[in-house]
Structure 1
């Protein structure tokens, strides 16, 4: 008896359906698209800069060519001058940012958890926050001089305000539904703070820390432009005084790159903290 040839098995429903991309694939595709969209504009600016200097639409004394700026950057790096100024600026901003963030967290938590502290200190804090950091420069120069204390105080003030505001707002704006659930479970005050209030307030608090680092970096450059003999801000002023615009542009590029990198570091840290927060609930 001849064997009956086996027919091909029909494809299962699962294999016939298109494969749905995973969440990680969707995230990576989105990041790739964002990266792709981020490049055209800066490349167009760089091309316009190159064409403007190449055809002398702008005098080279005012706007040096990109190649000249790159050469100047390489020279400053090879001599170690750029690293010296960069380390000085980074140390200043880290000291001021740490001090301002610590004080901001302390005051923000105190006002957010205590109505008495809030009524006593909040009006004064709002008045203090309305004055820009550099607005305190003349007064502080009379009190502490133009040494490192002046720079640390101004940078601390720049970081202090956003951390305090965001911490206070985050603690005051915990969703009512979260508080009702904690009452159902009869949480103690410590359990309420640990499992409900602080995890809920973490995103605005961390946004305040990110804003604080940005403001601290901007305040650093501002105070170094006005009252410093070292640092990236001083390097910009030094290049302007000698009419070396290539030095100015090289320092400006470093300032922008370092500020962008610092914000990215906090963004990555925030992603890990929020993942911890999701697991905590």
Structure 2
């Protein structure tokens, strides 16, 4: 049974991350048995079952979507399902395994467009957009370490689909894998900008425009544009364009074009 980590003083609930809040933190064999629904994988101890593994996973995703991964506990999932905490463990052995099941479920439900007849740039643009949409729906995934990805059916389908964006382009297998990692790393980093912007607005009850308007009078007194001339000029231009310090949409569009240009050096100029 997993232990719930107590928050540090002043740490927001949605920002807490316990020692198990990453992929593949549980027992790998038990996790894989559950991911692939191997016969007999579900624990059988405890009260008579009134729910299912799928229901526990769905409840976990709903909690994480609404309140962040820090709100995810086996007790919270049990409450959502109308079960006792002990009963929840008859479906999933702990939070670590539950997180892997949640990630794989989210991956399995992603939209996957037909890439077969698209030019390679459109293929890569498509898988980038699919991942961006998934992270917008499930922001907690953007902050969950997945260096040991949950190797379930959802992950397998996602990975195979994304590799097809680079299939037939003359790249070796290791370079294809690295190219997927490169694209998805960019998408995740920009998704975090959008998520953090939304959180800042929610936490402060102010839009970026309102926040800068409030800060502007004091900044005008303390910021020396002559001392930092390039930063002052460029920051003012960007702020006026985006009505904020950053624009996630602009960062995505600008960055994806650079990602595609970089990949073109491998694909079009081998």
Normalised TM-score (structure 2): 0.28
- When normalised by structure 1's length, the TM-score is 0.27
The structure richer in helix per residue is 1
Higher relative contact order (CA 8 A, sep 6+): 1
Larger Rg: 1
